[in-house]
Amino acid sequence: MKSDALQLVVVGSIGLDDIATPFGRREAVLGGSATYACAAAALFTRPGLVGAAGHDFPKEYLAFYEQRGFDLEGFQRLGVPTFRWAGEYGEDMNNRRTLRTELNALGAFRPRLPALYRRAPFLFLGNLQPRVQLEVLAQMRAPRFVAVDTMDLWIRTARAELEEVWKRADLVLLNDTEARLYSGERDLLCAIRRILDRGPRYVVIKKGEHGAIWGSRRRIGLMPAYPVERTCDPTGAGDAFAGGLMGTIAMRGRTDVASLRYGLEQGAVAASFCVEAFGPERLGRVTPAEQRARWERFCRMWQTSWKRSAR
């Protein structure tokens, strides 16, 4: 799949997940940060996917990418098995236990960006080794806006490289546990300031069903989660949140605070679709019209709640 112009590049993992939740079990579900982020971003723009799968990657999953409109020039198929992850969620869905991790193709992955991708103005780096994220940044020409995700493992084992990535990032995403781990601060506002000191313009701290806290050097804000009736599988929700955010920013072409807030709203809505089924199944069926309708409900819900609390 080729295009004359590409606004957003997404770099991340591609995997096959074995997932157990209170609502059932599924094996070899399509997963990975690149999958979820691109599925959400595709509601707003055509994302270029950079990631590696193995020789055992099912044809129907590649067809899913094509049907959702991903640009696949950056997709690699390696001669080893696909990255595998197995996890189990507890009753409250906030805690999960990793049962098995097999890096396979992810361990051998070395990103190679096509010329079209190198010129893209917007870049999302999913949760990968900071060394790999730096390899991607070295291939980009002059991106206007770079968002980066991470995890506690890299904070513990590759802190110096992680900070090099953050110096070149405009937006850093991480969860509350990771923010506290990195900063040594219990208060999340203090943690945001510590991370901003490393160079990014914005920090977004994800808090799952409790939404997110975002901050810049001048402003701090809250973004609630969209409430769903039943959370079936929270896997990938954070990546869908980031993908919705970056897809929106790429579509609008603006990176000011108002655009960030709008992107956070759309990301929260995309994440709410994601958790309603196993893997990206539900997210992959969402249309732009459905996304917009839920976003409008989200805005009304939020505004009504705010007005009532102000009385």
Instruction: Spell out the residues 6+ positions from residue 300 whose beta carbon is closer than 8 angstroms to its own.
Output: none
Cα separation, 237 vs 268, whole angstroms: 9
Residues 166, 172 contacting (CB under 8 angstroms): yes
Q: In this structure, what token pair is assigned to residue 112?
A: 């190679």
φ, ψ (nearest 5 deg) of residue 8: -130, 130
In which band, very low, low, confident or very high, does the pLDDT at 304 lie, cut at 50, 70 and 90? Answer: low
Q: What is the pLDDT of residue 309?
A: 38
Cβ contacts of 30 within 8 Å, gap of 6 or more: 15, 16, 17, 58, 61, 64, 279, 280
Q: What is the DSSP secondary structure assignment for residue 208, as one 8-state letter? A: G
pLDDT-derived band at 4 (thresholds 50, 70, 90) equals low
Q: Give per-residue pLDDT as tens, 107-157.
A: 999 999 999 999 999 999 999 999 999 999 999 999 999 999 999 999 999
Which tens digit of pLDDT belongs to each residue from 178-196? 999 999 999 999 999 999 9
| Reported CATH class of domain 8-305 | alpha beta
Opening angle at CA 9, ends 197 and 212, nearest 5: 45
The structure's pTM equals 0.94
Per-residue pLDDT reduced to its tens digit, 16-49: 999 999 999 999 999 999 999 999 999 999 999 9
* Domain boundaries defined on the chain: 8-305
Q: What is the pLDDT of residue 253?
A: 97
State the average pLDDT over residues 55-59: 98
Using the CB atoms, write b or e for 204-225: b if 16+ within 10 Å: bbbbbbebbbbbbeeeeeebbb
